[in-house]
Structure 1
């Protein structure tokens, strides 16, 4: 069983035209289709049909898609999910645009996760034969790909068990109330199933909410340039440019026109299943989140969609 990566984020926006401008011109994603009041987008270094779905009508996340390597992985994850005790359903091929058969999981946090192996696929914008380092016609930030997401849940411990037992993820880092395992309560976790430092993070909070979804950049200097582009485009910046203590990544947080929080993220160390987990204590959470300023603004901890 192998979850390769987060395949797509499907989020709601209040105005599709405004969202199109933000995601294609500021973030620099490619528009690949517009169907049934939904906009389908991808980064220049992604080969699957889409990695972002924007649906007009509100805010927040509709669902996340996770791609697995083999079709048999879907059944294995289904068995694990049913054993864990969560609700699952099968979605026929074609019901989700350009996606094959889906296992939809109703997670303990109230979020919906789509597990699939088949999606219309092609090549990245630079191609597969003698490619250039990046496309000449990048727009705005020129984000290559989606990276990860942070969601909230009332019971972080339950979500951690779910991600471990069903997805096969491990916890790379966490914020816990104490270092004593016998009396430990997790406030936040950063989980992954690959050497990517995190694919899905979970923060204690209300059910079924989105804190942010993030796009990958390659170099630290690109984070500063991204903030400059946001300033040029009058995009509201939440925090940054700065560095995380947790994951060591460089970051800028900002908002799309609907109020959904985005992030661009670069760097971070490699995670492996046998790497010792990093634990942060509550008194150091500000340093963990924003390593330089070591302060959390109220907006960062309270604004969810």
Structure 2
């Protein structure tokens, strides 16, 4: 069965390119793989494709998200279903995105731009595919493994959940509702594979980013990341702590432009196709988001870029 495979790239606006370069390359440990005036392309050490992050100077916030698809037939199928849903859909050509092949560009019901593609130039990881070491010795800073997921804000969570499910075959691993008696949807953590979430969204203004996240190995890696953030004067939003939702361990922090990032460890569970959706009610949502403190920082659910 054809499918969306994973989050492939995040494209982001920043206010100062050199500050962003220092943050994403030196503090987080990404490699700059290409640059042009006002724009950088970066990848993590454990990613196979050419890049996973594009940053462009001139503002703040999300430009678009790219998800990799396993076949051209899947692209055509997702394109057709998205059009039938009523979404704005168009094609983009090879080379329009650096090192990326042909694809489909979709405007979600929340006005976010989502791109689907099958091919990106293969670059390989720092450790390679033949007799690889456990990790490269030239890791800088946090040493993020890969970009893992994104969380966006949407005005109509139920509509976006229905689109992602009906058009792109995402499944909701966990959902937040007002109550069991009032099923109004407040947020959804959706998967296209077995990860607890490949794309999540909560109620908020359309076309905004809450955060995008990097995978780290374990809890000790999260703690080390916190130390490095203190060393580099990175503004920490929340953490280190654990989520109830997804069970992951986490730190939320900001890049120099004010875009929220996350380092995330712990798969929590495998969201296989027979996995029953977990439901959180609004009276327990603070525990779901911050399992230890069980309190919501107001800015966490109101600050978007």
Specify the TM-score bucket, using the shorter chain as the normaliser.
Answer: over 0.9
- The reply on whether 1:290 has 2:290 as its aligned counterpart is yes
- The reply on whether 1:208 has 2:196 as its aligned counterpart is no
- The reply on whether 1:175 has 2:176 as its aligned counterpart is yes
SS at match of 1:105: strand
Q: Which residue of 2 aligns with 1:236?
A: 235
Aligned length: 303
- The reply on whether 1:277 has 2:302 as its aligned counterpart is no
SS at match of 1:231: helix
SS at match of 1:139: coil
Q: Which residue of 1 aligns with 2:59?
A: 58
- The reply on whether 1:93 has 2:97 as its aligned counterpart is no
SS at match of 1:135: coil
Alpha-carbon deviations, 1:133-152, whole Å to 9, x = none?
00001000000100001001
Where in structure 2 are the equivalents of 1:14-29 lying within 5 Å? 14-29=15-30
Alpha-carbon deviations, 1:42-72, whole Å to 9, x = none?
0000010000000110111000000001122
Runs of 4+ in 1 over 4 A off after TM superposition: none
Cα distance between partner residues in 2 of 1:255 and 1:263: 8
Alpha-carbon deviations, 1:99-151, whole Å to 9, x = none?
11120001101100010001111211100100000000100000010000100
Q: Which residue of 1 aligns with 2:198?
A: 199
CA-based RMSD of the aligned residues comes to: 0.8
Cα distance between partner residues in 1 of 2:126 and 2:151: 28
- The reply on whether 1:102 has 2:103 as its aligned counterpart is yes
Cα distance between partner residues in 1 of 2:52 and 2:123: 13
Alpha-carbon deviations, 1:197-235, whole Å to 9, x = none?
100001000000000000001111111110000000000
Q: Which residue of 2 aligns with 1:301?
A: 301
Cα distance between partner residues in 2 of 1:273 and 1:7: 22
Q: TM-score, normalised by structure 2?
A: 0.98
Is residue 255–residue 261 contact of structure 2 (8 Å, CA) maintained in 1?
Answer: yes
- The reply on whether 1:156 has 2:157 as its aligned counterpart is yes
Where in structure 2 are the equivalents of 1:5-16 lying within 5 Å? 5-16=6-17
The gaps in structure 1 that reach 5 residues or longer are none
For structure 1, which segment, 32-41 or 198-207, has the greater mean C-alpha deviation from structure 2 after superposition? 32-41
SS at match of 2:35: strand
1:35 Cα deviation after fit: 2.1
1:36 Cα deviation after fit: 4.4
Q: Which residue of 1 aligns with 2:136?
A: 135
Cα distance between partner residues in 2 of 1:36 and 1:190: 36
Cα distance between partner residues in 2 of 1:54 and 1:228: 25
Cα distance between partner residues in 1 of 2:258 and 2:195: 27
SS at match of 1:195: coil
SS at match of 1:7: strand
